[in-house]
Structure 1
Amino acid sequence: MSHDPSPHDVRSAFKRELISANLWRTRIVVVGTASIAGLVVVAFTWLAESAFAQFNKIADFAWWVPLIWTPLLCAAIVWVTRRFVRGAGGSGIPQVMAALDPAISGGRRPLLVSLKISFAKIGLTSAGLLGGLSLGREGPSVQIAAGVMLAARRWLPRGSGISAHSLLVAGGAAGIAAAFNTPLAGIMFAIEELSRAPEQRNSGLIVAAIVLAGLIAVSVHGNGPHFGVIHPGPIGLSLLWPGLLAAVVCGFAGGLFARVLIASLRGVSPDLPTRWRARYPVRFALGCGFLIAVIGVLSGGATYGSGNEATRSLLENEANVPAAFALFKFVATWLTAWSGVPAGIFAPSLSIGAAMGQNIASLTGYPYSAALIALGMVGFLAAATQAPLTAFIIVMEMVDGHSMVLSLMACAVVASTVSRVLTPPLYSALATIQLPPRPVHPASPGEPPERAP
């Protein structure tokens, strides 16, 4: 026999939702910290852009100056990172993902995500742009905002229901939302990359914190799309074959990029560069910095920095980006990450994809290059990160590409599928490097030892 559900007690619900002091304190702490996280990312954005503007002034002095300045600064950043804040190295997203793993205890979590690391990440990533390295600030923004949000835990009341896992998810996603000026992408990033517990996906307070951090960036930078409004032309059958080519080519290139990064950063290969990197990390960074500067000189300065200027030029159909830009930027970004400096790959990936889209437009004779550039951006980013929904929403919001919703989504799915054939997910693979070794189970006689799953 079925029973009617118990009646909803309006008075109890009213007290629980609107009168509880602990609940209001929890809301104020989470929302207030999310606002601070958004402001910190905005300040980081300003500092990073100012640093790169200073590099451009240095590079304008003489073409050969970066050949000295860039390697010296790259080596100095790696020395400081390894000496004082090892947790600040790399993108920052793998550290946040590792901090979310149950294998990481509270005592080790501050080695991956903390306020100290957040402020070090701001300074060291900005220093990388001051040196003209090919890096993005979006991945670092994830670790920075996560560190700010995690610091809020000490002010939460007992029994708040907000765990360290919740704060890390909210902070990491808020970093994406504020860095790209795209709140929806922040929510999708939390679902697709960070959230591993189903209850996180339905937490209204956590989603509110993510959106608020994004809106803080919107209020400072304005509500316009990051790269302006594109004019993709008519979206019809004529785009099908060039678009499919862009999805497959960018999927292969993005998967290759992720595979190369994983192989390089794991450091288990017996080749000479890997051994040199392990034994002489600062000298290795010096060599990487020199090669990055050489590529910058050969490309006329186009590969320096995040690549946002090149992406914008391509979307605006300006002709100041070299034809081989995609290859140059691919190698420069790989060398930057391999050197060991704090560096993200989101913005460089968008610029590589944009250049590949432009090249495919020229190859196929498709008259509306902006459409293929947008598809190249989403295809390469989706393939490199294997986060197709996040990539699709980021690009859609950054170029106001609502008329291309289905095309962008299809391209992201195809490119990500191609990438999965070539490589495991980039950030998950790099996160395992941050985790402690798995315990080894004793084996039966005659059998090799078995690691825990």
Structure 2
Amino acid sequence: MHPPDKNPHDMRTAFRREFASPEVWITRTVVVGAAAVAGLVVVGFTWLAEQALGLFKGIASVGWWLPLLWTPLLCGAIVWTTRRFARGAGGSGIPQVMAALDPALSGGRRPLLVSLRLSLAKIGLTSAGLLGGLSLGREGPSVQIAAGVMLTARRWLPRGSGVSAHSLLVAGGAAGIAAAFNTPLAGVMFAIEELSRTPEQRNSGLIVSGIVLAGLIAVSVYGNGTHFGVIHPGPIGLALVGPGLLVTLVTGLAGGLFARLLLASLRGTSPDAPSRWRQRYPVRFAVGCGLAVAVIGAVTGGATYGSGNEATRALLDSNGHVPGGFALFKFIATWLTAWSGVPAGIFAPSLSIGAALGHDVAWLTNYPYAPAVIALGMVGFLAAATQAPLTAFIIVMEMVDGHGMVLSLMACAVIASTVSRVLSPPLYTALAMIQLPPRRTLPLATAGGDTDDSATRP
């Protein structure tokens, strides 16, 4: 005979707790409403960014030489504006959100990294970067933008709601990924893999609902189609093992090198002449980076300008074409853009670099079904650069409707990320540490890795 349960489940009490409490309904309304607003803001940001890139293409069409003047001047203006008015808006945006989640950061410092004001600044500055033709993505910035919107909702929550700033930041950051990529499942995985450190069981369902809702907002605006269409990978069998393993190792090494290079550049601690110039004359340095990006764009016939989405689509389309050496040129242009100090994400450029590497491997091995190897290259480089293999795998799977390649994409992401860890520590975690003050009393470092001496001295 079993002893009676000392804590029987009281359905009446549970019903009152879940459905009869006004505070619970207010909490749900605020969180879900804020998630919907965050999704709409990211959708608006996406539209503005695409319009900005379209305007740049119009400028570049006037003459190949015009970006040689326009891009460096605008790059310098963006860095000056960022450093003067919105330091926390610099860089990708993901490290800022991760740093804001750190328990060592007091609430008074959190607005220096994530706030509604910084979200608005991020929208304008990142769009300006695309207006200048810089090689950057909008997905990382979308994380900080949506997190700022969600965090603002905290002021309307009931005092005993149980929804902390940590939960709102996690929900906002993940909602940014879900809405930016039109991939709700990837947003949930991003929250689990990259952002959430101390998940709160009581409100986890509400937080996940908010993330999914933000993604559904994007779906309702852009439709339920995949971002890069539907690929035709051909038969998935033993013939793919050789090219698949080769592209996994190549993208793992290239992505690890990319992360190591970015981290070394953005830390600003190297004794080399460019790093000293960046610390002493950040705006002039940004002008130089912008000029280099413009030169690369001119050499490649404009292929490296912008996020790289058009190049990725062209590679996935058997009839598309990109110039030779695109992967290397895009790699350098993206690195220089991030190093300049402008607000810039790396997700979309990473996908285009990986796609180009996959295309090259398919050509080298004479594999007849190039889209399969290209998709593996996309997931491999993104997983290696970010060291977030599950997020990378789900993003690519949802963006190309690659459900038939689930196991191949997952294996590629895990192996490439493992290879990358030999070359570099996790990029976003390391960059987040730059945002945090030392454990005692030193001020906050410059956001986005812009770590000049004036920003770190007491």
**1:199 offset after TM fit, Å?**
2.8
Task: Identify the residue that residue 21 of structure 2 maps to in structure 1.
Answer: 20
Whichever residue aligns with residue 135 of structure 2, its letter is S
Secondary structure, counterpart of 1:327 in structure 2: helix
CA contact (8 A) 1:191 1:201 kept: no
- Give the Cα separation in 1 of the matches to 2:419 and 2:75: 34
Q: Which amino acid aligns with 2:262?
A: L
Aligned to 2:134: 133
Q: How far, CA to CA, are the matches of 1:310 and 1:322 in structure 2?
A: 10
- Tell me if 1:37 matches 2:38: yes
Task: Name the counterpart of 1:281.
Answer: 282
Following superposition of structure 1 onto structure 2, how do residues 164-183 of structure 1 map, counting pairs within 5 Å?
Answer: 164-183=165-184
The 8 Å contact of residues 167 and 200 in structure 2, kept in 1 or not, is answered as: no
Cα distance in 2, alignment partners of residues 9 and 280 from structure 1: 67
* 1:115 corresponds to 2:120: no
Q: What is the letter of the counterpart of residue 231 of structure 1?
A: H
Distance 1:152 1:2 in 2: 47
Q: Retained in 2: the 8 A contact 1:74–1:131?
A: yes
Identity %: 79
Partner of 2:339: 338
- 1:177-256 equivalences under 5 Å are 177-199=178-200, 203-256=204-257
Counterpart for residue 431 of structure 1: 432
Partner of 1:300: 301
Supply the RMSD in Å over aligned alpha carbons: 1.1
Q: Tell me which moved more, 370-379 or 189-198.
A: 189-198
In structure 2, C-alpha distance between the alignment counterparts of 1:221 and 1:158, rounded to whole Å: 37
Letter in 1 for 2:50: E
Give the Cα separation in 2 of the matches to 1:296 and 1:96: 31
Q: Counterpart in 2 of 1:6?
A: 7
**In the aligned structure 1, how far is the partner of 2:305 from the partner of 2:7?**
64
Q: In the alignment, which residue of structure 2 is the partner of 1:358?
A: 359
The amino acid of 2:170's aligned partner reads V
Following superposition, the deviation at residue 423 of structure 1 comes to 0.4
2: CA distance between counterparts of 1:273 and 1:323? 28
Q: Distance in 1 between matches of 2:175 and 2:320?
A: 35
Equivalent residue for 1:444?
none
Contact 1:357/1:376, CA 8 A, preserved across alignment: yes
Q: What are the Cα deviations for residues 333-386 of structure 1, in whole angstroms up to 9, with x where unaligned?
A: 000000000000000000000000000000000000000000000000000000
Partner SS state of residue 120, structure 2 = helix
Offset, 1:406: 0.3
CA change 1:2–1:183 in 2 (3 A) is same
Shift of 1:323: 1.8
- What displacement does 1:4 show? 2.2
Residue 317 of structure 1: CA displacement?
A: 1.7
- For residues 321 and 298 of structure 2, what CA distance do their matches in structure 1 show? 14
The answer for the alignment partner of 1:447 in structure 2 is none
> Any stretches of 5+ residues in structure 2 without a counterpart?
442-458
Secondary structure of 2:200's partner?
helix
Q: Deviations over 1:128-162 (max 9, x none)?
A: 00000000000000000000000000000011000
What's 2:54 paired with?
53
The residue type equivalent to 2:313 in the other structure is R
Instruction: Give the aligned partner of residue 76 of structure 2.
Output: 75
Task: Give 1:9 deviation, angstroms.
Answer: 1.3
State the secondary structure of the residue aligned to 1:366: coil
Retained in 2: the 8 A contact 1:29–1:155? yes
Take 2:201 and 2:406, find their aligned partners in 1: how far apart are those partners? 27
Q: Distance in 1 between matches of 2:224 and 2:310?
A: 19
Cα deviations by residue, 1:403-426 (Å, 9 ceiling, x for unpaired)? 000000000000000000100000
The match for 2:350 is 349
Q: Cα deviation per residue 1:185-214 (whole Å; 9 max; x = unaligned)?
A: 000000000000143697000000000000
Query: What SS class does the counterpart of residue 312 from structure 2 fall into?
Result: helix
Tell me: CA distance 1:349–1:62, structure 2 relative to 1, closer, same or farther (3 Å): same
Residues 1-10 or 142-151, more deviating? 1-10
Cα separation, 2, equivalents of 1:246 and 1:226: 22
More moved, 199-208 vs 75-84: 199-208
Q: Residue 299 of structure 1 aligns to which amino acid in structure 2?
A: T
2:183 & 2:222 partners in 1: Cα distance? 11
| Separation in 2, partners of 1:127, 1:7 | 59
What secondary structure is seen at the aligned counterpart in 2 of 1:203? helix
Look up the match of 2:374. 373
2:180 and 2:316 mapped to 1: Cα distance?
A: 20
Partner of 2:452: none
Name the residue aligned to 1:449.
none
Would the aligned equivalents of 1:231 and 1:370 in 2 still touch at CA under 8 Å? yes
Give how far 1:5 is off: 4.5
- 3-state SS in 2 of match to 1:4: coil
Q: Deviations over 1:10-32 (max 9, x none)?
A: 11111111110000000000000
The whole-number CA distance in structure 2 between the counterparts of 1:39 and 1:366 is 42
The corresponding residue for 2:317 is: 316
Contact residue 163 and residue 203 of structure 2 kept, 8 A: no
8 Å CA contact 1:195–1:201 kept in 2: the answer is: no
* Matching residue's letter, 1:288: C
Shift of 1:438: 2.4
Partner of 2:445: none
Residue 8 of structure 1, CA deviation: 1.8
Partners of 2:111 and 2:143 in 1: CA distance: 15
Cα shift at 1:318: 2.9
Structure 2: distance between partners of 1:321 and 1:365: 18
* Offset at residue 266 of structure 1 (A): 0.1
Q: Which amino acid aligns with 2:129?
A: G
Aligned equivalents of 2:318, 2:77: Cα separation in 1: 38
2:210 aligns to what SS in structure 1? helix
Gaps of 5+ in 1: 441-453
User: What letter is aligned with 1:54?
Assistant: L
